[in-house]
């Protein structure tokens, strides 16, 4: 895997990569920054989240589990470092993400990507769909990201969900926490399996039942939160949920078959006191503990 080891301390609570076991979740940084609308600097996100992880505990009091303890039963978190996009165009960089994700899935690991711009989610989901053809994606985001073009680009941080819909169908796409988009994007969002403009991050019983036995990729654009609690992001959108509500939503997925996840769009350059990076680090810790179970294969992979 073409990864650079972390240049700073690895994610706190992660364990050394051990191919013989010990790790179930594999964290990698995707410092992807090719299309920018607001403030630049999301490429620095992965390093900031790693640094912030040094200041939170590896122990989750809510789940009564310590990340360091997970190695003994083969469900720990390994930090693979960052993908290197030097000299690559956007499509080539996305191919790197897809390949890294596929390699993790191939060893029945759970990929945990730290962005970087949200466009990277499209690449990770491509790998997930190749392996789990009935997979769905839950994207938590203030923005619909369903534009056909952004600044003349078909592929950008504001269009990736439309490309995902083009490639895999909109009926595998669930958007939660959204409160921004053009009229055309809101119209397109009606094709999605579910989308909620409500502040409360919640699934209806019907949607929950539909997801219950389906592989799920969970994408968290940190800007889904109210900027009061997560200001360190490039396109802040007022009127979002609190971090407490986001954690409650995360715990509501406890019984779900989450086969991969990401936390995207942290922008340390505009993050006063590092609170957004700290939040992202805590999300990674809680999700790693929550989704450490072995992913359940369902439908055969494409081409299988």
For binding to Mn ion (CB under 5 A), which residues are involved? 141-143, 221, 223
CB nearer to Mn ion: give 82 or 145.
145
Q: How far is the CB of 46 from Mn ion (least distance, A)?
A: 17
Do the Cβ atoms of 101 and 260 come closer than 8 Å? yes
Q: How far is the CB of 142 from Mn ion (least distance, A)?
A: 5
CB nearer to Mn ion: give 141 or 286.
141
Which residue of the chain is nearest Mn ion when measured via CB? 143
- H helix intervals, the chain: 45-53, 90-106, 120-131, 160-168, 183-189, 205-211, 243-252, 275-290
Q: How far apart are the first and last CA of the chain?
A: 23
Do the Cβ atoms of 116 and 263 come closer than 8 Å? no
What separation in angstroms does the CA of 296 have from each of 78, 105, 193, 208, 213? 20, 11, 22, 17, 9
CB nearer to Mn ion: give 35 or 60.
35
CB nearer to Mn ion: give 58 or 233.
233
CB nearer to Mn ion: give 141 or 271.
141
- Nearest residue to 85 (alpha-carbon basis) of 34, 161, 17, 154: 34
Q: How far is the CB of 265 from Mn ion (least distance, A)?
A: 6
Question: Which residue shows structure tokens 């936390």?
Answer: 263
Which three-class secondary structure state does DSSP give residue 108?
A: coil
Q: How far is the CB of 264 from Mn ion (least distance, A)?
A: 8
Q: How far is the CB of 143 from Mn ion (least distance, A)?
A: 4
């Amino acid at each position: 895997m073409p990864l650079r080891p972390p240049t700073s301390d690895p994610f706190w609570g992660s364990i050394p990569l051990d191919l013989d076991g010990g790790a179930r979740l594999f964290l990698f940084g995707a410092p992807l920054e090719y299309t920018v609308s607001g403030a630049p600097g999301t490429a620095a996100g992965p390093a900031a989240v790693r640094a912030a992880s040094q200041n939170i505990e590896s122990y989750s009091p809510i789940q009564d589990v310590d990340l360091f303890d997970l190695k003994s039963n083969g469900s720990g978190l390994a930090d693979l470092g960052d993908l290197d996009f030097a000299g690559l165009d956007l499509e080539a960089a996305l191919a790197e993400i897809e390949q890294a994700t596929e390699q993790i899935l191939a060893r029945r690991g759970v990929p945990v990507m730290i962005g970087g711009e949200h466009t990277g989610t499209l690449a990770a989901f491509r790998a997930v769909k190749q392996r789990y053809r009935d997979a769905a994606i839950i994207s938590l985001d203030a923005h619909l990201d369903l534009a056909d073009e952004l600044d003349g680009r078909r592929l950008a941080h504001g269009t990736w969900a439309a490309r995902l819909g083009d490639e895999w169908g909109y009926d595998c796409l669930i958007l939660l926490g959204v409160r921004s988009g053009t009229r055309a994007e809101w119209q397109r969002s009606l094709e999605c399996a579910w989308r909620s403009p409500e502040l409360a991050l919640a699934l209806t019983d019907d949607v929950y039942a539909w997801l219950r036995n389906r592989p799920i990729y969970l994408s968290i654009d940190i800007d889904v939160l109210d900027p009061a609690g997560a200001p360190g992001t490039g396109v802040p959108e007022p009127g979002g949920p609190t971090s407490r509500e986001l954690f409650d939503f995360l715990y509501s997925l406890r019984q779900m078959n989450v086969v991969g996840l990401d936390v995207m769009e942290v922008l340390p350059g505009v993050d006063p006191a590092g609170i957004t990076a700290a939040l992202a680090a805590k999300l990674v810790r809680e999700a790693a503990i929550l989704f450490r179970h072995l992913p359940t294969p369902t439908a055969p992979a494409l081409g299988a």
